[in-house]
């Protein structure tokens, strides 16, 4: 596994750490449980980090020195690709030939390194985009910066170099084909998973007691990185509209915002708190630092509903995890969220980001106990579709497809139209 720009050991919810961190670590753990040794290469961001850390039995995280430990933004990382790639290639040299059987890269920066390792080691390259510049730029959040042309070109190169692309959803697979010219035969759809042992059947009453939330409170939760892409501002504006229309909700409404600033949100880390104050929501909004998986499961359990107003999500792991906890989700009808959330079954999908539409959807769930119970039951059932064990099996099938693709490409004469 190559995860250059963010380590699976980092705490999701701040900086560049998010659902991809959970994805890489959980998938690797399930691979290891099947007897497959996994090395995860990531860039070292602290001088105190050990070169090698066992994240789980059979899963080794290798910290690669490439550039200064701290202070590098994601836009500055391309300058470190050569150094990072050199150190990755050196690791393989320490073993007998054929040590690695497959390279699975995550995000386009890692894909650039993966393409080099693929050719040097003569092993298949499987790549997961996680997010795509062309998709993000088409649905850019207000105040967010467009992805640069260098990333667009880099993604196109990785798509062409990969033997198989793993898409989170059918929609992402279609986007890879239509926007990047990917060969449909080399695209495998694998839904990410949820650790059901962590998120299923938490104690709701105990969670509320632990967090100091009244048993009868109405809790609207946001969990994720605080950045324009995730649109926590839309949620706060919707809450303000909802309270203007129905002031009676204020007395027992709680709106926890669980996460830290990330990406362009780092430029104005206090902006969301300032917005909350401006909207007169200081009495209902609670800002909570990022938490680990077990604590996050408790927060989901404590919530009446979880709001996911993102402008785009390749999958929407927060929505899947919340549903596993039996909590309805109100989500934007974008990207992978339309796969994760079944509208009117496990939650509600909202078209667009108009705070008035969001206020209406939130209030529907909050004031209708029968609807909440129906959606909660549907959420639990929906979550059963997304398990890491299933994701691991399907990813292994994608690796087998990549092996066949590579063998076929090597057998095809270049003059006859072989890709390489």
Q: Which residues are annotated as a binding site for Mg(2+)?
A: 300, 303, 327
Which DSSP string do the residues of 247-306 spell out, in sequence order? GGGGGGEEEEEE--B-GGGGGSTTHHHHHHHHTT-TTTEEEE----HHHHHHHHHH-SEE
What does residue 311 show for φ and ψ, rounded to 5 degrees?
Answer: -75, -25
Q: Which residues contact 418 (CB under 8 A, 6 or more apart)?
A: 409, 410, 411, 412
CA distances from 264 to 15, 16, 113, 147, 236 (A): 10, 11, 25, 11, 19
Structure tokens at 275: 């917005």
Q: Which residues contact 245 (CB under 8 A, 6 or more apart)?
A: 359, 363
Task: Name the binding residues for 1D-myo-inositol 3-phosphate.
Answer: 5, 16-21, 74, 107, 131, 151
226: which DSSP letter?
Answer: B
What gap in Å lies between CA 217 and CA 323, rounded to an integer?
A: 19
325: which DSSP letter?
Answer: T
Q: Is 371 helix (H, G, I), strand (E, B) or coil?
A: helix
* H or E element, residue 232: helix 232-245
Structure tokens at 179: 């926007």
What gap in Å lies between CA 175 and CA 38, rounded to an integer?
A: 29
Task: Name the binding residues.
Answer: 5, 11-12, 16-21, 74, 107, 131, 151, 225, 230, 291, 300, 303, 313, 321, 327
What does residue 157 show for φ and ψ, rounded to 5 degrees?
Answer: -65, -40
Task: Name the binding residues for UDP-N-acetyl-alpha-D-glucosamine.
Answer: 11-12, 19, 225, 230, 291, 313, 321
What gap in Å lies between CA 98 and CA 93, rounded to an integer?
A: 10
* H or E element, residue 309: none
What gap in Å lies between CA 330 and CA 344, rounded to an integer?
A: 10
Strand partners, 42: 63
Residue carrying the six token digits 């529907």 = 364
Give the pairing of strands 52-56 and 59-64.
antiparallel
């Amino acid at each position: 596994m190559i995860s250059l720009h963010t380590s699976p050991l980092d705490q999701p919810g701040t900086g560049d750490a998010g659902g991809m961190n959970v994805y890489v670590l959980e998938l690797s753990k399930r691979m290891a449980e099947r007897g497959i040794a996994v090395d995860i290469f990531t860039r070292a961001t602290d001088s105190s980090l050990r070169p090698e850390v066992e994240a789980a039995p059979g899963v080794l995280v290798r910290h690669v020195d490439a550039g200064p430990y701290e202070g590098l933004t994601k836009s500055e990382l391309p300058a470190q690709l050569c150094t990072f790639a050199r150190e990755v290639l050196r690791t393989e040299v320490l073993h007998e030939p054929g040590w690695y059987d497959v390279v699975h890269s995550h995000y386009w920066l890692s894909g650039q390194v993966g393409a080099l390792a693929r050719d040097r080691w003569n092993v298949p390259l499987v790549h997961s985009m996680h997010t795509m510049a062309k998709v993000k730029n088409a649905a850019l959040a207000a105040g967010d910066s467009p992805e640069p042309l260098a990333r667009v070109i880099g993604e196109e190169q990785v798509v062409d170099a990969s033997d198989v692309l793993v898409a989170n959803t059918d929609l992402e697979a279609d986007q890879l084909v239509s926007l990047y010219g990917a060969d449909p035969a080399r695209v495998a759809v694998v839904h990410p998973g949820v650790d059901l042992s962590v998120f299923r059947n938490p104690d709701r009453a105990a969670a509320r007691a632990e967090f100091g939330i009244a048993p009868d409170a109405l809790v609207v939760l946001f969990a994720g990185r605080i950045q324009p892409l995730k649109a926590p501002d839309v949620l706060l504006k919707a809450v303000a509209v909802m309270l203007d229309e129905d002031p009676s909700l204020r007395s027992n409404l709680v709106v926890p915002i669980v996460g830290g600033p990330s990406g362009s949100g780092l430029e104005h880390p206090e902006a969301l708190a300032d917005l909350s104050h401006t909207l007169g929501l200081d009495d209902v909004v609670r800002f909570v630092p990022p938490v680990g998986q077990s604590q996050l499961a408790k927060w989901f359990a404590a919530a009446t509903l979880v709001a996911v107003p993102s402008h785009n999500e390749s999958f929407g792991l927060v929505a899947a995890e919340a549903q596993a906890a039996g909590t309805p989700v109100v989500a934007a009808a974008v990207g992978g969220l339309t796969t994760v959330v079944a509208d009117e079954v496990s939650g509600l999908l909202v078209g667009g980001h108009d705070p008035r539409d969001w206020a209406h959807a939130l209030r529907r769930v909050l004031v209708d106990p029968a609807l909440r119970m129906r959606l909660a039951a549907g959420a639990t059932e929906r979550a059963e579709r997304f398990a890491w064990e299933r994701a691991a099996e399907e990813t292994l099938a994608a690796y087998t497809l990549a092996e066949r693709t590579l063998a076929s490409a090597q057998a095809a004469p270049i003059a006859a139209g072989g890709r390489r």
